[in-house]
Structure 1
Amino acid sequence: MAIVRKSDSLGETSVTPEAIFWKRREFIKSFTGALSVSALAPGIVLSDNTVAQKSSKMIGEELRGELSSEFVVTHHNNFYEFSTDKQEPSRKARNFKPDSNWKINISGEVDKPGDYTLERILSRVNEEERIYRLRCVEAWSMVVPWTGFELNQLISLVKPTSKAKFVEFKTLHDPEVFPGQKRGAFGSYTLPWPYSEGLTIQEANHPLTILATGVYGKPLPGQNGAPLRLVVPWKYGFKSIKSIVSIRFTQEQPVSTWNERLPNEYGFYANVNPKVDHPRWSQATERRITDESFFGVKRIPTKPFNGYAGEVAHLYKGLDLRKFF
């Protein structure tokens, strides 16, 4: 059974078509409050009753014309639990329909550990729409309209202790659901399942870091990481772990899957950096994918921190980003 929320109770005919997605929402014309201009985050669209974090005009000019189509976002996916082929996950995930009883185990250095259903979490947080750039380590990119909530809202609910320095995430491990997790499924590409990722507590608390529950105004499809995935827009896409079932707060830096598998190619931090090449290709430019024919691809320069340097660079002050890549 698919997750159903109040906003999902409308019939199929009420779902906003992609073609009028932008027309449906009026950007907020101004913003107030204590936020300074230098602290405002680009690429965010907030609900109309929320203080805007950046001028809506700037958001629209920057990303409106670059929005990747819904078909591209849902049919060009790296999700090795289903397949190493980018089009296969959309087919193999058709029967993966997690319901509202999906559980996330929260453990480690927190005052309120336990198994939390997604329904319980969603009743305590504020979901909103955000448009973010997505940059894959393979040098392709998209612009995606996510629905989700700031991870810091969940962190506030579970109350980490002062010992919590990192946050570890794990995806569902079930070979019956994910054929790619079966022994030998990918030969030399076999990964140490379950897929694991991690952030520093400062990265996890940053307002740009979200847990996504939907895309294009609809619940996340399986191939996009249903029902809950991490989105960290200034990092390479492999950091945005999908189908999360475990969140652990720890004193030690957690093991992340690709960093464990190929540490010379995939760093723990994985911040988008056009000056630090992958050992097998340049990261100076990227292929922006826009339309469903996949001919809508243009090569563009890659921006430091994927264009979010003004908001997140301070997190890495004094850190050698070539060593801690």
Structure 2
Amino acid sequence: MLIKRQPNGVDLPFASEITPREIFESRRSFIQKIAVGSIASASLLEMASREAFAASPAPQKLAARQNTSYVVLDKQTPYEDATTYNNYYEFGTDKSNPARYASALKTRPWTVSIEGEVKKPMTLDIDSLLKLAPLEERVYRLRCVEGWSMVIPWVGYSLSELIKKVEPTSNAKYVQFVTELDRDAMIGVRRRVLDWPYTEGLRIDEANHPLTMLTLGMYGEVLPNQNGAPVRIIVPWKYGFKSAKSIVKIRFVKDQPSTAWNSAAPNEYGFYSNVNPQVNHPRWSQASERRIGEDGFFTKKRPTLMFNGYDQVASLYSGMDLKKYF
């Protein structure tokens, strides 16, 4: 296994996942504002998003047993932070945009079609997905390619439970996830930051790994809109953008499918996108991370763990050149 080693990697400040120059420059401008102390407007935006979310109706509770095999001991990220600091570009490129605007998305009725190389294609509504397998609470780390991370108690079950129901054929080598595209509710799609709808994908053995989670809730409640309601994927050993939100279609395919970020910038976002502290993003180091909710922006960063600490997936990549297949 070949792993890129970066000697004395420089610890860079937050940078955007967004590749287009106009967005990257806007993030640089924000950092400069912090440097000169003019952060008031950003704070007001964050306050507005928190207030708007606090005023929304109380979410539905989800009863789930805790799966103690999938619980990290790290301190959990406060609910308020996990629901007001998000990447969800369909609602805008600022971290506060999803909490401010995602309430416009209607998540009922909702269906997910499962199609392609399967013996039993089907379309399931959200209530059928909630009943497809016993709900579990799993406390997972989630690491963002930008250099920040969270620890969140997710509610759902292994994606493999759904995969068994549809019976993939021998031609099914990959699984593609397609996100909802609602041009009225999702104001971020008015900008061509990415090709919409958002798509992601996994190899079939990655999708079948018990850690890969079909996720319907968090913190004992249904998913908030800004966190990918009503159904999303969590792949905890990969960077967060691999965990597709608000899924409307799951396709089983023979060839490696296109994915949003890999298509937009293949030199920066590989198809696999495993958390690997020794393979840097072209514009910043991946050797360390900042845990959201831990005492502010200037808290000392923690070392990033290989596969985000989920060593049980290492066998999936035995013999692969992880510099080439990043």
- TM normalised by structure 1 equals 0.78
Note the C-alpha offset of 1:294: 4.7
Change beyond 3 A, Cα 1:115–1:15:
closer
Pairing 1:176–2:184 present: yes
CA shift in 2, pair 1:263/1:124, >3 Å: same
Q: Aligned pair count?
A: 270
* Partner of residue 53 from structure 1, selected from 69, 72, 81: 69
Q: What code does the residue aligned with 1:200 have?
A: R
Say if 1:15 and 1:243 are closer, same or farther in 2 by CA, change over 3 A. Answer: closer
Q: What are the residue-to-residue correspondences of 1:100-179 with 2, within 5 Å?
A: 101-179=109-187
Aligned counterpart, 2:32: none
Is 2:61–2:222's contact at 8 Å kept on the other side of the alignment? Answer: no
Q: Report whether the alignment pairs 1:270 with 2:288.
A: no
- Give the secondary structure class of the aligned counterpart of 1:81: helix
Residue 266 of structure 1: how far off its partner (Å): 0.2
**Contact 1:289–1:297 (8 Å) recurs in 2:** no
Deviations 1:111-137 (A, max 9, x none): 111322121222221211010001000
Contact kept, 8 Å, 1:288 with 1:298, in 2: the verdict is no
Tell me the residue number matched to 1:8.
none
1:256-302, Cα deviation, whole Å (9 max, x unpaired): 110000000000000000000000000000011125x8558541000
Question: What is the rounded CA distance, in whole Å, between the counterparts of 2:251 and 2:60 in structure 1?
Answer: 38
CA contact (8 A) 1:290 1:297 kept: no
**Aligned equivalents of 1:264 and 1:175: distance in 2?**
29
Q: What TM-score do you get using the length of structure 2 for normalisation?
A: 0.78
Query: Where does residue 72 of structure 1 map in the other structure?
Result: 81
CA contact (8 A) 2:275 2:305 kept: yes
Displacement of 1:96 in angstroms is 2.3
State the identity as a percent: 51
Deviation readout 1:195-228 (Å, 9 max, x if unpaired): 0000001000000000111111111111000001
Query: What amino acid is the match of 1:67?
Result: Q
2:195 to 186, 192, 214: 192
| Equivalent-residue separation in structure 1 for 2:250 and 2:290 (angstroms) | 32
Counterparts in 2 of 1:81 and 1:12: CA distance versus 1, 3 Å: closer
C-alpha spacing 1:12/1:248, structure 2 compared with 1 (3 Å):
closer
Q: Which has the higher contact order (CA 8 A, sep 6+)?
A: 2
The one-letter amino acid of 2:317's match is Y
Deviation of 1:14 (Å) = 10
For residues 289 and 220 of structure 1, do their structure 2 counterparts lie closer, same or farther at Cα, with a shift above 3 Å needed?
A: same
User: Is 2:251 the counterpart of 1:248?
Assistant: yes
Matched, 1:239 2:242: yes
Partner-residue secondary structure (3-state), 1:175 = coil
What is the RMSD computed on CA atoms of the aligned residues? 2.3
Cα offsets for 1:136-191 (capped at 9, x unmatched):
00010011111111100000111111111100000001211211112xx26xxx21
CA distance in 1 between counterparts of 2:297 and 2:276 reads: 26
Decide which of 84, 87, 93 is 2:96's aligned counterpart.
Answer: 87
Q: For residue 11 of structure 2, what is the aligned residue in structure 1?
A: none
Query: In 1, Cα distance between the equivalents of 2:58 and 2:88?
Result: 27
Change (3 A) 1:105 1:297: farther
Residue in 2 aligned with 1:38? none
C-alpha separation between the residues in 2 aligned to 1:222 and 1:285?
Answer: 29
Contact 2:172–2:204 at 8 Å: present in 1 too? yes
C-alpha distance in 2, partners of 1:92/1:13?
17
> Is residue 2:304 matched to residue 1:302?
yes
Q: Secondary structure at the match of 2:89?
A: coil
The answer to whether the 8 A contact 2:59-2:221 is kept is no
Deviation at 1:97, TM superposition (A): 3.8
Q: How far did 1:12 drift? A: 6.0
Q: Are 1:287 and 2:290 an aligned pair?
A: yes
